[in-house]
A = this chain, B = another copy of it.
């Protein structure tokens, strides 16, 4: 229930009328997706304009887009388990099932949330970028690293920074021909936000990868990519969200390579062979 989760998640940031609307959506989602915007407005005690704005504030293209995605989400059979936090002394078998369910869920939810338009825009921006900067802290820093590995394999001029000073230093030298990617699950990591803002000020194209919702980081990006947002159990940490972020990175990368196949694939294969050759015979496949 990533959309409904996101709504619950942002409850505190919602305006009064939006809350009434959100409340109705959370209680009667099945009915809501069958209504027109005016019915929904009436039933939830707000106006069509408010509903429309609500949808856009959650980064949906429009009301129709919102309705379709919510419907798709609701159609998922409830057999799927809910996201679970770590609890005491579970049998190992149950832990395995729970983690697996969390991860599968995270991936399918993220896939459902993906906006192909934004994805296409991101791919195109990355392809034509003169330089690519990647920013992320903590676990998201690792995602950035992963993306970095991929990009240099196809010969992109990419850099990755976790150090806030270096982030700003690098961002300050970007131009409108460059791309900056800010990664943060919460979307509220100050350092990453600042780096992306700085990049935007220099005219670079800013791409954000955050949990779904109205996050500060996404607010500063011109291309927004989202992962599913489960309520964060602090114990569970960022396991599922990290999977989701990697998933988005993989899709971005694969899309990029696929769309410019002849240019990138030879480089990809070359990097593969070279690693093999220079790290000993024993290395038969990428580790």
Contact = CB atoms under 8 A, between A and B. Distances in A.
A284 interface: yes
Contact of A192 (B184, B250, B287): B287
Contact of A265 (B75, B112, B235, B261): B235
Contacts of A153: 237
A251 B275 CA distance: 30
A247 B88 contact: no
Contacts of A193: 282
Interface string A221-263: 0000000000010111111001100110011011101110110
A135 to B, nearest CB: 10
B142 A189 contact: no
B190 A282 contact: yes
Interface stretch (A50-58, A102-110, A171-179, A200-208): A102-110
Contact of A139 (B190, B251, B287): B287
Contact of A73 (B75, B88, B107, B275): B75
Number of this chain's copies in the complex: 2
A243 B247 CA distance: 9
Interface of A, helix, strand, loop or mixed by DSSP: helix
A258 B90 contact: yes
**Nearest 6 Cβ contacts at the A-B interface:** A72-B75, A88-B261, A75-B75, A186-B285, A189-B287, A184-B287
Given A186-B283, A189-B283, 4 more contacts: A89-B259, A95-B254, A193-B282, A243-B243
Interface of A: 33-34, 36, 64-65, 67-68, 71-78, 86-90, 92-93, 95-100, 103-104, 107-108, 111-112, 114, 116, 119-120, 123, 136-140, 142, 145-146, 149-150, 153, 183-186, 188-193, 216, 232, 234-239, 242-243, 246-247, 250-251, 253-255, 257-259, 261-262, 265, 268-269, 272, 275, 279-280, 282-287
